[in-house]
Amino acid sequence: MPQQDRHDASRAEFKADFKADFKAGKPPYRAPPEIHPIMERATAELAASGQASRAIKAGDRAPPFTLKDQNANDVSSADLLAQGPLVVTFCRGVWCPYCNLELQAINDVLPQIRAYGANVVAISPQTLVNSRKSVRENRLSFRVLSDVHGETGAAFGLRFGLPGYLVDLYGLLGNNLPAFNDDPSWTLPLPARYVIGQDGIVLYSEVNPDYTRRPDASDMFPVLEKATAKA
């Protein structure tokens, strides 16, 4: 089996084990099993809303953005696209273990992504302090951008409001989103991953209302290869 295939299989097995342990409430996750039906209800309702199908997708023009990274530096999508294709992953925040897995998976293949001449950024509604925590705890070699009030997420069609029963549950779990995001609205982006070509057109999109399901990072490689060939 090629090395990349072995790596993908190993990460897939790890994610499956993680999900099983998380749902069982095993340490260090300490998520009581009784919360999962509530969270699964919210995911099912979000999927039924059809919002994922209305979000920016392959073939659409990506909304431009300028956001601050974890060190308070302005980062412009226009500047990044002038250098090459751009990989963008939308995450909920450092408090979300599945988002951390997504960031780690992309970081693992960062050398391959950069070999295609592409840049990578993550976008989250969390504050700069929490973005720095994301970078530090996940040992990331790419930037995490703070999407103030979720405006960029909204431009991509990803921002949604949490139902009241989920707000109550998050409060019990200590996931105080207004504090994490310095924003009183209980809103989050749908987990999403994009590859944007230098002309600003989305070449690859993966949007899923189920926060526990993330595609393999290697799924982007064929798209990046084609984008590099056209440059």
Q: pLDDT digits over 171-225, tens only? A: 888 899 999 999 999 999 999 999 999 999 999 999 999 998 888 999 999 999 9
Residue pair 153/145 in contact (Cβ under 8 Å)? The answer is no
Q: pLDDT digits over 31-68, tens only? A: 677 888 999 999 999 999 999 999 999 999 999 999 99
Q: pLDDT digits over 9-30, tens only? A: 445 554 555 555 555 555 455 6
Alpha helices in 2-138, H assignment, sequence order: 3-24, 36-48, 51-54, 77-81, 97-108, 110-115, 128-138
Q: How many structural domains does the chain have?
A: 1
Q: What is the pLDDT of residue 33?
A: 76
pTM (predicted TM-score): 0.87
Tokens 């960029």 correspond to: 152
Name the residue range of residue 69's domain.
3-230
How far is the C-alpha of 99 from the C-alpha of 97, rounded, in Å? 5
Tokens 């707000």 correspond to: 167
CATH code, 147: 3.40.30.10
